[in-house]
Amino acid sequence: MGPTGKRTVRIVFGATVLWIVALQYIPFAVWRAEPYPALVLPGFPAHCAGCLLETGVPQAKEPAVVVRFADGVPQRVPLDSLLPAGPSVRLMVFTAAFSDGRVATDPGAVAWLRSRTARLFPDHRPTGLDIIWRTATYRAADASAVEYQPLRTIHIDLGNPT
């Protein structure tokens, strides 16, 4: 094969690769589906309202736990003191177990929360517990600059065990 033939093969090969690259975007544009396997790596878009990549401000959903006593005085309880010792993913476990209102009607969960609060406050009678889910917005590196916006509150009646 002469130099002209090699050049023709290179041009045909290059044109074919360019066509493949161009044509793989058609399914993406039409069906919003990425062709796989393809010459394009899969994308990881952040299409969620309030995501860090969209706003530039870190936000997270965090719980605040408040224990109510028979004398009517509420007291905020750190989440770490309510949960048993364990790995550093306790917030994920708490979120999975207590993020919706079903916990208020689950007798096992209510009994567990009653025993945990009774252990934390042996001289008081806890009658209820509120889990206040809120959005925390971190505008600066220090903890005093965190802004909280309440989302919902789950009221749990611990009752007055005899």
Mean pLDDT value across residues 5-32: 83
Mean pLDDT over each residue of the chain, to the nearest integer: 81
Question: DSSP state, 140?
Answer: S
- Return the higher-pLDDT residue of 150 and 139: 150
Q: What is the pTM of this model?
A: 0.62
CA-CA distance, 55 to 36, in Å (whole number)? 31
Say how far apart CA 24 and CA 34 lie, in whole Å: 8
Q: Exposed e or buried b for every residue in 25-56, given b needs 16+ CB within 10 A?
A: eeeeeeeeeebeeeeeeeeeeeeeeeeeeeee
Q: With contact defined as beta carbons under 8 Å apart, do 77 and 113 qualify? A: no
Distance of CA 80 to the CA centre of its chain: 18
Tell me the pLDDT band of 146, cut-offs 50, 70 and 90: confident
Which pLDDT belongs to residue 139? 77
Highest mean pLDDT among 75-79, 96-100, 141-145: 75-79
**pLDDT for 141 beyond 60:** yes
User: Residue 118 phi/psi, 5° resolution?
Assistant: -65, -35
pLDDT for the residue numbered 12: 94
- In the chain, the amino acid numbered 98 is F
Q: Which of 52-56, 128-132, 144-148 has the lowest mean pLDDT?
A: 52-56
Q: In this predicted model, which residue has the larger pLDDT, 71 or 12?
A: 12
In the block, tokens 């990881």 appear at 44
> Residues 26-78: pLDDT tens digits?
766 776 665 555 555 556 665 666 666 666 677 788 889 999 998 888 999 99
